[in-house]
Chains A and B, each alone.
Chain A
Amino acid sequence: MEALFAAALGILTASGVYLLLRARTFPVVMGLTLISYAVNLFLFAMGRLQTGATTVIGASAEYADPLPQALVLTAIVIGFAMTAFVVVLALRSVGEMKTDHVDGRESAR
C-alpha cells in the first residue's frame, strides 16, 4: 500500500508542478489543485497508513491517529477557499488584461 500511495502522490505532484509552470491561468489553477490534493493525502498519511484500526486508544492494539484527519479537513477547507479566490482573480485578470498569461502579456516568440 505504501508504494502505491507514494507513487500516486509523486504523480499528482509532478503533474501539478508541470501545469503550474505552463504560466497560463487555467493550467496554473489546475496545477495548484493537484498539488493541494497531493499535500492533503500526504498529511493524511502522516498518521500512518493502516486499515480497520479504531481511533480510540486502548480499544485495540493498533489505533488510527485522528489528528491528521482533523488537519486534512482544515487544509481542505482552506484550500477550497483559496482555489475559489484564485479562480475569480484569474477571470478578473483575463478581463483586465485580455490575456490568460500570468504575466499579463504574451511572451515574445
Chain B
Amino acid sequence: MNHGLILPIVLPMFIGCLLLFGARLSMPVKRSLSLSSTAVLVLLSFWLMWQADQGVLQVYALGNWQPPFGIILLLDRLSALLLVATAVLAFFALLYATRGDDERGRNFHALFQFQLMGLNGAFLTGDLFNLFVFFEILLIASYSLLLHGGGPDRVRAGLHYVILNLVGSALFLLAVGVLYGITGTLNMADMAVRVAAANADQAPLLGAAGLLLLVVFGLKAAFLPLYFWLPRAYASATAPVAALFAIMTKVGLYSILRVYTLIFGDDAGMLANMAQEWLWPLALLTIGLGVIGALAANSLHGLLAYLVVVSVGTLLAGLALGTPQALAAVLYYLLHSTWIAGGLFLLADLIARQRGEKATQLIQGPALQNPHLLGILFFVGAISVAGLPPLSGFIGKLLLLRAVEPGLQALFLWPVVLGGGLATLIALSRAGSTLFWRVGLSQLDSAELDRGRLLACIGLLLLSPLLVGLAAPLLTYVEATASQLLDLQLYRQILLPGGAS
C-alpha cells in the first residue's frame, strides 16, 4: 500500500492546524510555512502523476479494510491530473497573496491550506459519502476565503453562495441516501457493479438519485440554470482567492466525469449514460449565455467571471460527447482553462491597483504606470482564453472540435464554440482597449508594481505556452486517462482481494 496517496490530504491539514494554533506567529513565518507546504504539494502531485501514469490503479484503504468495506482513496490518471492542476494554481495564487493580500483578514493561510485539503480529498476519494465530506470541507474553507477582506459586496455575494451551497449539500445527502438505500454500498466501484445489476423496479429510483447528484454537481460546476451565483461571487473575491476559485468549478466537472463514467457509465444497463442527454443542450446554452454575459459585463472582473462560465460550458460539451477523443480534449482544456483563468484574475488585480477608484470598471480611467508590460500580459491571456493560435486554448478547442463526428452534433457544436470564441475576443478587445488606450493623461503614483505579484501572474500566464510546448507528452497522458476512465473492468478489480496495489 502506497502511503503517498494520503499525503496530499494530510499535509495541508497538518500545516493548516499548525497555522491555526500559531495564529499569533509573525506573518513571515506563516507565509513561509504556507508557501513551503504548497511547494511540497506541487512536487508531491507531480510524483503521484508519475505513479498514476504507470497505468495501475492505486488504492489506499483507510484502516486497512478490504474494499468495499471502509473508505478508500483511489489514485488514477484523472485524479492525479487534477491534483497537479490544483497544486500549481494554488502555489501561484499563494505567492500572489503573500505580497500583502493575506493581511486583509485573519487566518488566510490556515483557510487556504484547509481549502487545499478539501480539494485534494475530493479528487482522491473513491467513496461517495467521503466525497460529500470533502465537498463540505472545501466549501466551508471557500466561504471564509470568499469573505476574506470584508465589505458589503463580498458579504452579499457570500450570503448567496453559502445558502445555495447549503441547499446543494441537502440534495447531495438525499441522493447519497437513496443510492445507499438501494445498492447498500457507498464505494463508487462497488456501486457501479450494483447499479449494473439493478432490476427494473430499482432503476427509476436510482435514476432519480443520479440526476439529483447531477443538480448538486451542476451547482458546483456552474452550468446553465445553476450558474447565477458565480459571476458576482468571483468578481467580488480578492484576487488570489478568485484565482484559486478557478479550480472550484472543476471540482463539479470532475465529480460529473467520475460519477457518470463509473457509476452510470456504459455498463449501467437501463441507466447507461443517462446524464449525457441532459448535459449536451445545457452545455451549449451555457456557452451562449456565458458569452452574452461577457459581452455585457461592465468590469474586467465580471468579464473574467463570465469567461469561467464559458469554459465550463465548453468542458461540459466535451463531457456530453463522451468519446475517448472528446474526454482527452476536455482534460487538456481543463488544465488550460484553470491556469489561465487564475492568471487573468491576478492580472486584473494588477491593473486595478494602478487605476485607483476606477478599479477594473470598463470606463475611462487614469493612465497605467506599466501599460506595455501589463498590456502584453493581457494580450497573451486574452489570445489564450479566446482560443486563437498559437496558445493552448487553440489546441484545446481544436481537439474538441475534431473529436465530434460530422453530423448533427457537429452542426451544433462548431458554430457555438467558434462563435463563442469570436464573441469572447470581441469582449476582451473592447475591455483591453478601454483599459489600456482610452486613458486620461494623469497617472496615479500611489501603486508601484510589486515584483512578487507580477512574478505570480506571469508564472500562471506562461503556463499557456508551456502547455503548447509540452503538448505531445501531455496529450499522450490525457488520451491514456480517457481510455482508463472508460475501461470499467479496471475499476471493478479494486474490489477483489489483492486486485489493486
Contact = CB atoms under 8 A, between A and B. Distances in A.
Interface in B142-187: 143, 147, 151-152, 155-156, 158-160, 162-163, 166-167, 169-170, 173-174, 176-178, 180-181, 186
A68 B180 contact: yes
B53 interface: no
A86 B160 CA distance: 10
Interface residues of B, number: 27
A103 B156 contact: yes
Contacts of A75: 173
A78 interface: yes
Contacts of B176: 43, 71
Interface in B397-440: none
Interface string B329-359: 0000000000000000000000000000000
Contacts of A92: 155
Contacts of B162: 82, 85-86, 89
B136 interface: yes
Residue of B169, B177, B186 most packed against chain A (CB within 10 A): B177
A97 B152 contact: yes
Interface in A79-109: 79, 81-82, 85-86, 89-90, 92-93, 96-97, 102-104
Given A46-B181, A68-B180, A35 B152 contact: no
Contacts of A81: 140
B91 interface: no
B155 A89 contact: yes
B133 A97 contact: no
Contacts of A36: 166, 170
Nearest to B178: A46
A32 B167 contact: yes
A39 interface: yes
Nearest to B129: A71
Q: Which of B160, B170, B180 has the most CB of A within 10 A?
A: B170
A82 B136 CA distance: 9
Contact of A28 (B155, B163, B169): B163
B216 to A, nearest CB: 12
Interface string B119-153: 00000000001000100100010010001000110
Contacts of A67: 180, 186
Given A93-B156, A96-B155, A97-B155, A86 B180 contact: no
A67 B167 CA distance: 23
A42 B129 contact: no
Contacts of B170: 32, 35-36, 39
B163 A102 contact: yes
Given A39-B173, A43-B173, A82-B166, A93 B155 contact: yes
B156 A97 contact: yes
Contacts of B156: 93, 97, 103-104
A81 to B, nearest CB: 7
Interface in B183-197: 186
A43 B181 CA distance: 9
Given A32-B166, A39-B173, A96 B143 contact: no
B167 A102 contact: no
A88 B159 CA distance: 10
A48 B169 CA distance: 22
A85 B143 contact: yes
Nearest to A48: B181
A67 B69 CA distance: 11
Interface string A29-71: 0001001100110110111100000000000000000011001
Contacts of A104: 152, 155-156, 159
B159 A46 contact: no
B177 A43 contact: yes
A28 B162 CA distance: 11
A23 B155 CA distance: 15
Contacts of A97: 152, 155-156
A62 to B, nearest CB: 15
A45 B177 CA distance: 9
Given A39-B174, A46-B181, A90 B133 contact: no
Contacts of B167: 20, 32, 35
Contact of A32 (B133, B151, B163): B163
A46 B128 CA distance: 15
Contacts of A68: 177, 180
A35 B174 CA distance: 11
Closest 10 CB pairs of A and B: A46-B181, A104-B156, A43-B177, A46-B177, A96-B152, A39-B170, A39-B173, A93-B155, A78-B136, A96-B155
8 contacts: A25-B159, A32-B167, A39-B173, A42-B173, A71-B177, A97-B152, A97-B156, A104-B152
Given A32-B166, A74-B133, A104-B156, 14 more contacts: A43-B176, A45-B181, A46-B177, A48-B181, A71-B176, A71-B177, A71-B180, A86-B162, A86-B166, A90-B159, A97-B156, A102-B159, A104-B152, A104-B159
Interface of B: 129, 133, 136, 140, 143, 147, 151-152, 155-156, 158-160, 162-163, 166-167, 169-170, 173-174, 176-178, 180-181, 186
